A = this chain, B = another copy of it.
Amino acid sequence: MLLAQAPDGVPTITRGDDLAARLTPVLAAITWPDGTTGVAEGDVVVIASKVVAKAEGRLVAARDAAERDRVIEGETVRVVATRERPDGSVLRIVENRQGLVMAAAGVDSSDVPAGTALLLPEDPDASARRLRRGLHARLGVRPGVLITDTAGRPWRRGVVDMAIGAAGVRVMADHRGRHDAYGRELQVTVVNLADEIAAAAELVKGKAVGRPVAVVRGMAHAVTVDDGEGAATLIRPPVEDMFRTGVGVD
């Protein structure tokens, strides 16, 4: 059984906040169908990158569209695709400093003070490890931690959440070597567990409802004692990227 819930009452987070300290009372008060409360071993704490970025002081000035464009350019490593919008502005899908391919380089202008924009955490895996350490110190258990962001995909409408930072979560489930009911090796061999957990968590977190943190229970088989290799490993390396230099070229 998988369970996921996103508690109300997460306080507004600002620069310099100790994220683990701020989240602990809210997480400790969660109640589960079996009557237990709080976060247990094997749970995964899923948090929106926006909240982590705010705690890390990643808010920058972006007083107008031109300044916002410069902020986005500063986060851009490589332009992947561009398209002119009906209003003449240009939508750019880019690879950003974190290696993620996203619109606007992952720079967030929603739910931030006017005249500012929010950069992603500098190193989301490091942020996840830090939050995990802080939660462990306060809660006495060592949950997995995922930091999530929202992105579109080339051939699917609507956005979904994905994992950009991870600590203590086995981010991929490797079924290579396993066989089907007919004794043949499985074709679909590596599942991106972290992105699926991020998507499940988004269903309870939702957008713009003041619930940026979820706890997912039932994935204990994917929670590890070690922090593990993180979510950066979920980014497809250039040699596997079929869309790096053009369609059909690699």
**Which residues of the partner chain B approach A178 to less than 8 Å between Cβ atoms?**
207-208
Please tell me if the beta carbons of A182 and B114 are within 8 angstroms of each other in the complex. Answer: yes
Q: How many copies does the complex hold?
A: 2
Q: Chain A: interface residue count, which band?
A: 35 or more
A3 to B191 alpha-carbon distance, docked (Å): 21
- Is A150 an interface residue when CB atoms closer than 8 A count as contact? yes
- Is A88 an interface residue when CB atoms closer than 8 A count as contact? no
Given contacts A180-B208, A182-B112, contact A234 B158 (CB under 8 A): yes
CB neighbors of B among A154-213 (8 A): 154-162, 171-173, 175, 178-182, 184, 186-188, 190-193, 195-197, 199-200, 202-204, 206-208, 210
Could you list 16 A-B pairs, sorted by A, with CB under 8 Å? A3-B3, A82-B242, A82-B248, A83-B242, A93-B242, A109-B187, A111-B182, A154-B236, A154-B243, A158-B195, A159-B191, A160-B195, A188-B207, A195-B199, A196-B202, A203-B219
